[in-house]
Structure 1
Amino acid sequence: MIKFLAFLSLLALPGLAVAQQSALPPVKTTSFRADTFSIAKYGAVADALTSNTGAFQKAIDECSQKGGGVVLVPRGQWLTGPIEMRSNVNLHVAAGALIQFSDNRADYKLHKTNWEGLDAVRNQALIYGKNLENVAITGQGILDGAGEAWWMVQKGRSTEGEWKQLVASGGFLNEKQDRWYPSAQSLKGTTVKEAGVLTEEKSEIKDFEEIKDYLRPDFLVLDQCKRLLFEGVTFQNSPAWTVHPMRSEDVIVRNINVLNGPYTPNTDALDLESCKNGIVEGCTFSAGDDAICIKSGRNEQGRKRAMPTENFIIRNCKVYRGHGGFVIGSEMSGGARNLYVSNITMIGTDIGLRFKTTRGRGGVVENIFIQDIDMKDIPGEAILFDMYYMIKDPTPQVAGSKERPVSPAKPVDESTPQFRKIQIRNVTCNGAKTGIMVRGLPEMAIKDISIENAVLQSEKGLVCIEADNISLKNVTLLPTSTDPVMEVHNSQNITLDNVKYAPGATVLLRVSGADKAKNVRLVNTDVSKAKQPLELGENVKKKAVVVSKR
C-alpha cells in the first residue's frame, strides 16, 4: 500500500524528471491504534485559566505506555505549558479546540539542542520529542504559541499608537530607543555574539541563564524521529521557528496552516532540517521569516553531520508572507538533493524562489526540480541564487560606470558551497525588484541552472554573475528598467533562447568580465526590437558572444 501511495504521488507531478522521481524511496506512513485518551479525563479544564500541562503530559505518556493511540483535545480553550510527545501517539486537536501555550517564560526550561544548524542552548520547544517513532499532530483545531511574550518589536514597523502602548506596558528599549524587548534578559542577549551557541567556554546550561529570555523556543521540534505526520491543524504566533522536523525521516506535512505576523522575528513556517523522505502538500503559510525552508546544518558542524535534506515532494501550497517562498539555505552545509517542488503560489513574499549560502558553509545543493510557480507583489527577487548571503555586494557598480569591479577569488576547499543541477519551469511573476538574479563566487560559479517557460514582470530583468551553464528558454522578461534587460558578468556557457521583451529596450544584453566571458549565446530572439541588441564590456572579445538573429 505504501509503495502504491508513493507511485500516485509521482504521477501528480507531470513533466518533472520522471525517471529521477520514480527512484525516490516510498514514504513510510504513520499508523495508530483506535484507543482514545481524552485530556479531559486526565483533569484538563477548558476555561483558558487552568494550566493543563500535567493533564496533557499524563494523557500522552499513558497513551504511549499502553501501546499508542489518539490523545484527544476536545473543543474548548486549553491552557498549557510545554509538552513532550511520545512514540505511537497521535495528538488530535479537534475542530473548535484551541491549545493556548503559556505566555509565562518561566514555564519553559533551557536545554541543549540544535538551532540554526549549530549545537546550542535554547528554551525547550512548545512541543518536543527526540528519538521517537510513529508520531502525529492532526485535526482541525488551533495551536497558539503566545509568541508575543518573546518577540522583539521594531519601532519602524509599528504605528505610533501601537509603539506608545507597547512602551507603556513595560519591557526594555535598546540604546537607540527603536527596539522594544519584553525583558532585561531578552535585551542583554543582543549584546552577546553567537548567543546560545555551545562552545568550550560556554558548555553548560547554567552559562546561558542570564540571557534565557533571548533564546526563544521553536514551536515544534521532533529530532531524530521516524514516521511523522502533521495534518490539518493551524500553528500560529510561534516564538521562533514553527514546524521543525530535524534529523528525521518519513515526514508528511499535509493541509496545515502556519500564521505568524509579518514582522515577527525568525518565525519560519516550515524548516525541514537534515530530513529524509517526505511529502509537503496542501499547506498555507504566512510568516515573519522564510516559509518553506530546506536546511541541513551550518558550517563545520553541518558538514560533519553530513545529513542532507533529500527525497521530498513539495506541492500545492500557498505562501502569503515571508522572507522567501521556497528557500534552500543558508544553513545547508550538509547539502540538499532530490527535491521536487510544484504548484506553489506566493503573494507578497520578500523573495520568491530563494537559494542562499555564503563562504564557510560548504555543502552541495543539487538535483532540484521546480515547476508551476506563480508569484505576485515580490519586493525583492522572483528567482534568486546568492552565494553572498548577509554580505555586502562584492562587485557593486560605481555610479555612472557600467563595469563591475574585480572580486578576488579565494581557495576552494570543503567550506566552499555549491549550487548545481537545478531545473525551473512554468513560472509567472507579477511584480518584483529583479526577475532573475544569479550571483556565484569567483572561485565557485553557480552551475547547470535551467529556467524554461517564464513570464516575469519586474524592475530589473536578468542579472547573472559568476555562473556557468545557465540556460533561459522561452522566458519573457518585462523589466521597467531596460538598460540592460539582461546583464551577464564573469560567466560562461550562457544560453538565452527565445527571450521575449517589450519593444524599445535600451540594451537587450550586456556582457562584461573580460577574463571569464565565454560562449554567451543569444539565439532565436528578435533583437530588432531593442535600440541596442548587444553591449560588450571593457576588453570583452566579440567572439565571446554569439547573437543569432531570428
Structure 2
Amino acid sequence: MKLSLSLPVALLTAALLSAAQSTHAQSSTEFSWSRLPTAQQPSFKADTFNITRYGAKPDGLTLNTQSINAAIADCSSKGGGVVLVPQGLWLTGPVELKSNVNLHLVRAAVLQFSADFNQYPLVLGSYEGQPAYRNQSPLSGTGLENVAITGHGIVDGNGDAWRMVGRDKLTEREWKSKVASGGSVSEDGKVWYPSEKSRLGAKTPNASAPGRTKAEYEAVKDYLRPNMVVLTSCKKVLLQDVTFQNSPAWCLHPIMCQDLTVRNALVRNPDYAQNGDGLDIESCRNVLVEGSTFDVGDDGICIKSGKDEEGRKRGIPTENALIRNNVVYRAHGGFVIGSEMSGGARNLFVEDCTFMGTDIGLRFKTARGRGGVVENIHVRNIAMKDIVHDAILFDMYYFMKPPAKLADGQAATEPVPAVSEATPRFQNFTIRNIVCDGAERGIFLRGLPEMSVRQISLDNLVLKVNKGVELIEAQDIRISNLRLETKAAAPVVYVENSRNISFDGMQVNAPTNQALFSVSGNRTEKITAARTEAGKGRTPIEAKAGASIKALKVKS
C-alpha cells in the first residue's frame, strides 16, 4: 500500500491504521496483546458516612481535617463503606485514607487543601525514588487494602502556594498578584518564593537529597513540596472519575502497590509546575490506567521503580500494566519510563492514546548509575500532534552530558566503563501504528557505548517532522513501514556506532540536497535498507568519522 505524505494527517491516520489492522491480525500473538494484564477491583459496603455528621462545614473557612479523618476512621472501623463529600468547598489539612473506604466526592465537591504549611508535618517518605523527608502528603495511605477515591468532584492540592515560580512564566498581572500575596522575591527580581524557608531550600545544594538530619530538613521545610496523593504498599486501589489538580509536586504517586486502577480521571497542573507530573507509577504490579486525561507541568503518565542503589536494593519492578485510551496535553512526556527505573520495568502495554503538545511523545530515559532492566514494552495505536521535541525518544544520557556527535575524520575514543549492576538496559520494545503530525525529530535512540539500546521494533509509522531518524549506540533495531516527511537540511537517517539495523519499506519526502543515510563511527556495521522510496537526485549514502560506506547495504 502506497501513501502520499501530501495527504492531510487525518487521512494518513485512517489509511495507516487500516493497513495496520491487517498487519496486527497476522502477528498479534507475537506481541502478546491477547494476554493483557488485569487489575483486581476493590469492592465496598453500601454504608455511607457523610462528613457533615462529623462536623465538617463547606464554608471555605473551617478547617475540616479532624472531621474528615474521623469519618474515614469510623467507616473503616465498622467494616468499610463510602465516606461522602457533598457539594461545597471543604478546606482541610492532610487526609489519611483507611482500608475498605471509598472516599467519594460528588460532582462540584471541592476538597481544598490548606495553604498553611504548618498543617503538614515533616514525614519520612520517598522523593524521586529514594527515602527522604517531605511535608506530609495532602492525601495518603500506607499498607491499605480495598481503598478508593471516586466521584466527579475535585481534589485541589493548593500547589501554587508551595511553588516558586519565575517571572517569565506569568503575565505581568499574575506576577503582581503573586508578589502581593506574600513570600519573597529573588535579588534579581526574577523568581518568587513562597517563604524564606523555600528560598533557603532553593539556594541550598541538594537540599532535598537523602541523608540529612531532620533538623536540616526543617530549616528548608517549605521547599520540600509534597506529592499530592501518595499510596504506599496498598492492594486493590481505585482512582476513578475525580479531578486531581494543582498538586505541590507529583500529583498521583502510587508506590509499591498491587492491583491499581486509574479510570476516567482528570489530572491538571499548570505548565510551569516544577515536578508537576500527572501519574507516577512506582514499583507497582497489576495496573490499569484507562480513559484518563492529563494536562500537567511535567511527565504525563510515568513508570518508575526507584533510583540508583536504593532502587536496586528494593528490587521491585513496575510490571504487568495496561495503559489505554488516555489523552495527554502539554506534559514533558506523554508516556514515559524513567529516569528512576533502577528496579526495572517489564510487561507494559500501551495502546490507543493521544498526545497533544507534549515536549516528547514516547519518552524512555535513564543514565549510568541507575541500573535496572526495562524490557517487554509494547506500544500501539498512538496519535501525536504538535510535539515540541521528539516523537519517540530513547536516551541513556538523561541529565548527563553526552559525547558530541562524531565529526569528519576518526574521532578520539573515550574510556568505556565496564558493564555492572549500575548499567541500565532498554531492550525488547515493540512500537507500532504511530502517527505524528509535527515534531522537531521523529525518532531518537541513544544508548551507551557499553550498553546499546537494543531489540527495538518500530512498525507502521507516519511522521511529519523537521528532522528524521537518529540512532546512536543502538543494536538490533528494526524499522519497517515508515512514512517520513522532513524539512531540515540534515541527513534523513543518521546512524552512529550502531549495528544490526534494518529499514524495510521506507517512503521519504525530504529536501533532496541531503543524504538519505549518513553512517558514522568505526563500529557501525550491518545496516540494511530495503524497499526505500526517496525520490531522485539525492545522495543515498554518506560515510563519516571512520565508518565504511560498506556498512550499509541497500536492497531492491
TM-score by length of 1: 0.93
| 1:445 aligns to 2:452 (yes or no) | yes
1:534 aligns with 2:541: yes
Q: 2:338 aligns with which of 329, 335, 354?
A: 329
- From 273, 276, 285, the equivalent of 1:267 is 276
1:336-361 deviation digits (Å, cap 9, x = unpaired)? 00000001111110111000000000
Within-5 A mapping of 1:59-458: 59-199=71-211, 202-203=212-213, 205-396=214-405, 406-458=413-465
1:95 is displaced (CA, Å) by 1.1
- What is the CA RMSD across the aligned residues, in angstroms? 1.8
Task: Sort the Cα spacing of 1:530 and 1:368 in 2 relative to 1 into closer, same or farther, 3 A.
Answer: farther
Query: Number of residues paired by the alignment?
Result: 531
Matched-pair contact (CA < 8 Å) for 1:460–1:479: yes
Give the Cα–Cα distance (whole angstroms) in 2 for the partners of residues 404 and 279 of structure 1.
47
Q: Which of 1 and 2 has higher RCO (CA within 8 Å, sep 6+)? A: 2
Matched AA of 1:362: G
Name 1:493's counterpart in structure 2: 500
Deviations 1:209-268 (A, max 9, x none): 110000001110010111100000000111010111101100000000001011111110
Structure 2 distance, partners of 1:44, 1:191, is 40
How much does 1:18 deviate? 6.6
After superposition, give the CA deviation of every residue in 1:108-148 in whole Å (9 maximum; x if it has no partner). Answer: 11000111000000001100110110000000111111101
Identity %: 50
Secondary structure of 2:546 counterpart: coil
Q: Structure 1 residue 61: deviation in Å?
A: 0.1
- Structure 2 distance, partners of 1:220, 1:237, is 11
Instruction: Provide the C-alpha distance between the structure 2 equivalents of 1:529 and 1:482, rounded to a whole number of angstroms.
Output: 16
Whether the aligned pair in 2 keeps the contact of 1:507 and 1:530 (CA below 8 Å) is: no
Q: Distance in 1 between matches of 2:90 and 2:480?
A: 54
SS in 1 for 2:460: strand
Amino acid at match of 2:140: Y
Letter in 2 for 1:448: Q
Matched-pair contact (CA < 8 Å) for 2:37–2:287:
no
Whether the 8 Å contact between 1:396 and 1:404 is mirrored in structure 2 is: no
Of stretches 62-71 and 455-464 in structure 1, the one that deviates more from structure 2 is 455-464
Deviation of 1:404 after TM superposition, in Å, equals 6.7
1:27–1:79 Cα change, 3 Å: same
Unaligned ranges ≥5, structure 2: 1-23
- Per the alignment, in what secondary structure is the counterpart of residue 148 of structure 1? helix
Provide the C-alpha distance between the structure 1 equivalents of 2:501 and 2:169, rounded to a whole number of angstroms: 41
Provide the rounded CA distance (Å) in 2 between the counterparts of 1:17 and 1:503. Answer: 36
Separation in 2, partners of 1:285, 1:538: 43
3-state SS of paired residue (2:386): strand
Shift of the alpha carbon at 1:174?
3.1
Partner of 1:6: none
Q: What SS does structure 1 have at the residue aligned with 2:298?
A: coil
Structure 1 unpaired stretches of 5+: 1-12
Distance 1:396 1:538, change over 3 A: closer
User: Would you say the 8 A contact 1:303–1:362 is kept in 2?
Assistant: yes
- Pairing 1:507–2:519 present: no
The 2-side partners of 1:530 and 1:404 are apart by 30
Secondary structure of the residue that 2:174 maps to in structure 1? helix
Question: For residues 183 and 403 of structure 1, do their structure 2 counterparts lie closer, same or farther at Cα, with a shift above 3 Å needed?
Answer: farther
AA matched with 2:515: V
Structure 1 residues 385, 409: closer, same or farther in 2, change over 3 A?
same
Q: Which amino acid aligns with 1:493?
A: N
- Greater CA drift, 30-39 or 474-483: 474-483
TM-superposed deviation, 1:526: 2.5
- Cα deviation code 1:286-319 (max 9, x no counterpart): 0010000000000000000000000000000001
